[in-house]
Structure 1
């Protein structure tokens, strides 16, 4: 198995870490990164450990691909499993609107199905 972060998810992670560092300090930002890295890394051993997100899977992919999510502190990591690859699609704050999350996942899907 291999974990691949989308460019969008990496950009979102950078934004989260910048925000945390600015508001809470560098040590909290490092801890946030460690927590995210550790929990995402566990997917290599337990790829199906994330909660299946049937609503996004149905809305966006007609149930062809199952989108899963991990809650990590106030952040949610959305991913899917494609054979031996775990695609980290999006990382967003748990209060992010559903409409915005759908748009972000759509961008990922459009970019990766061409």
Structure 2
């Protein structure tokens, strides 16, 4: 991220030794390390919380979409075929209403069993 090499770290260490002195440098390094650790932990906890919230929102959205699809399926199953309009009284008599067949059409046609998978050759 910052692209700091060994020579830059060595230069910062020498400047800190000259500015702080050998007595205060270990205490300052320990304090800096503690603060950096606290900052890293707080950032990682915030990141984990945001990821949990994003995941929870995505799960809620998926559940909502599944509920909508379920309601749509129920609605499609309960819808009756549209009624035909009756002809006017002065025209020819209407034909008798068609009786529904005993075997209603399947909702989804079955796939042919002989379709090869894309990762296999047809002759295996």
TM-score, normalised to structure 2, is 0.22
Higher strand share: 1
Structure of larger gyration radius:
2
Higher relative contact order (CA 8 A, sep 6+): 1
